A and B are shown apart, each in its own frame.
Chain A
């Protein structure tokens, strides 16, 4: 196995190079910068295999991708935090236009004030923009998910956001299995989707439409995105046969007899997993896919394991409501006959998830007075 010691950012960039793209348009921003640098290096060495467009802003980066993907190109971009926020208008446009774009977002808090720590609010605040969102827990997942995201997007004609934490993943070096270019390209193949613009064909695209038209288009987009878990599963079955790894939309590690589980996405899942042996009576549910939200699969796990309490690790906060993941889990499990107690462990600002915080949250037994929201900063 050709393992390489690389960072999460490098894993993402190498995956893009392995997949083979026609165009990359991106603007550097901490902590995503290493992705742009690595891709630029590929371009400088003539190994990118596509165009690398230097742009003056994130807005232009995604606009440039929009144009290329309309012409049938496979495109990639990456950003973080304020860069993602700056793209917001184009982000919505992509999904409405059904552009199968793959973008990496490296989580970083959105100001004010200027913060570099890996709050997930940047990507989570884009949850309603019609992009699929997949959260990665380590560099290998980053590499594999970027590859799979091209297939997922091009199959469903919907854009994908591949998300991982700044620094914990972006800047941490891990051994990653990096397959050869030929092997990856044979697996993924060239883009198969229909170009929207073609030479010689006059077409008016994405122009002013009636509300009735938009209703139909939104409905189609919604129904298509609901197929994502099924397509994701199929891609992973094939992926497993070639690369020996596969992923689920929601993964569970529940020790025998555990009635409490932490639910985490991104690097926090990896942290919880590391400490599980020391957190007696607790299991882990790792949420990979966030959009579409795999509520059915989550409910099945909760019911099968008879989980009575879920501690949701939210390194984010939707001000006025609480953590995004907790909101989503509450909504998803509302239909269960016996619903678990849901506690929201709030780590907004991107603070470090320590063993003490995890233990402090777990120690609150169902007999204690439970509160909906535990602020991680107080559990230290």
Chain B
């Protein structure tokens, strides 16, 4: 301490103010010190992108939207998109749900994305100055890879087979799940950032791997999984039998689809549900049946989406395996689909051909799964340097998984170009903070029990499991002046910490621990 007298203190006739405790550096008594830690929250544990949910919640709570976006974009550059299309496993084990109602995480996530749309400023400084990188496929994996490369100054060109960019986001996911305005805004920002988009270029036809390898320093392949899985089904070659992704592409780009009521959708995945719900939205379609060969519990589709389909009027039929698409001889049009009863046992799917039934219909949509089309990579040459990710590698998966793959690809590409070790694949083995571990007794800010429409308020409901959410309990309980409020954060000033550990015991979020233990 300086020898100067505290002027503020002398406004009083008696000693008043924090000069008092600041004189006694009790840190010398300390045998152990508290330290801030970050433990895994259930939301981050369950998030497919392992997004730092409590951190961006904390930023939103404080109205620090720019910070929220910076934290968010470390793992997810497209929160507006994922806020719409992700099935939000993050909310399933939210500890707030044990107290009253789990947080509406996707709503806050969307709000961050929308804030960014409104406040986006083109990055200052040089853009697209580093080596050129080609990204083939403009789906979520490709866009994510392009974002991170571009963010680090690389010159990125994205090639797309279709006439519009977005891949599965534009063609596969129906508009009722993802408003196209959101996708278009993301694409506009990416273009503004200096990424070049080239559409109508098909790999293996007018886009050759050899040329890409010559023209670009590195190439990322993210062409997805669009090839319908071939199942032997009699009559399936009829022109009114659509494969789900073909149907969705036409539907989503508002092209003409030759489809007649009633519609039978065969399959149990998300593409099947999307197809059923989309078909029901078409003019003249009043009856859609979703028919799956296994039970409802075994459906790979998101249960929430299945429920929505059911509520909208889609008829759900289970344990029925298609045997034949029946065509009316006279008109040549489809009249019905024949099904066998089917169920799963230990050996797999068992058909009971003695039990059949006929489902009358005008059109059939087959959603029996899809897989990557590897044929477009011929000819592959040994000296080619290629990166690949997304559905192309994993098979059909989700948007957040594709974003994660694109991010991993971007950092791997940069590591290779810059001769650095590649990124660690973000894996999680830690157990998330359990509700029972939280110490909520001392918290006075838990009054908002219901979900809040206002994102700032909703973010304020976050318990910050394992992450400091500046509740201030440590500041309140510290018997000395070892906890200071600096730059919107509580920090320890160990000069004054006796090492009593009260802050660690009292921390509601379990974001503190004693260094070296007690």
Contacts and interface: CB of A to CB of B under 8 A. Distances in A.
Nearest to B23: A208
A209 B21 contact: no
B443 to A, nearest CB: 18
B198 to A, nearest CB: 62
A207 B20 contact: yes
Nearest to B481: A204
Given A204-B18, A216-B5, A210 B23 contact: yes
Interface string B63-91: 00000000000000000000000000000
A96 to B, nearest CB: 7
Chain B, interface SS category:
loop
Nearest to A70: B14
A196 B21 CA distance: 18
B50 to A, nearest CB: 39
Contacts of A221: 13
Contacts of B6: 209-210, 213
B4 interface: yes
A213 B14 contact: no
B5 A213 contact: yes
Interface string A62-104: 0000000000000000000000000000000000111000000
Contact of B5 (A203, A206, A212): A212
B1 interface: yes
Contact of A217 (B1, B3, B13, B23): B13
A209 B15 contact: yes
A112 interface: no
B14 A208 contact: no
A209 B10 contact: no
B38 interface: no
Contacts of B298: none
A213 B16 contact: no
A220 interface: yes
B483 to A, nearest CB: 14
Given A204-B20, A204-B21, A207-B21, A212 B4 contact: yes
A40 interface: no
B19 interface: yes
Contacts of A217: 10, 13-15
B164 to A, nearest CB: 59
B143 to A, nearest CB: 50
B13 A208 contact: no
A209 B9 CA distance: 10
Nearest to B24: A208
Interface string B13-39: 111111111011000000000000000
The 4 closest A-B pairs by CB, nearest first: A207-B20, A212-B5, A209-B15, A98-B13
Given A205-B15, A205-B16, A216-B10, 9 more contacts: A96-B15, A196-B14, A196-B16, A204-B21, A206-B14, A207-B15, A207-B21, A209-B20, A213-B15
Interface of A: 96-98, 157, 196, 203-210, 212-213, 216-217, 220-221, 224
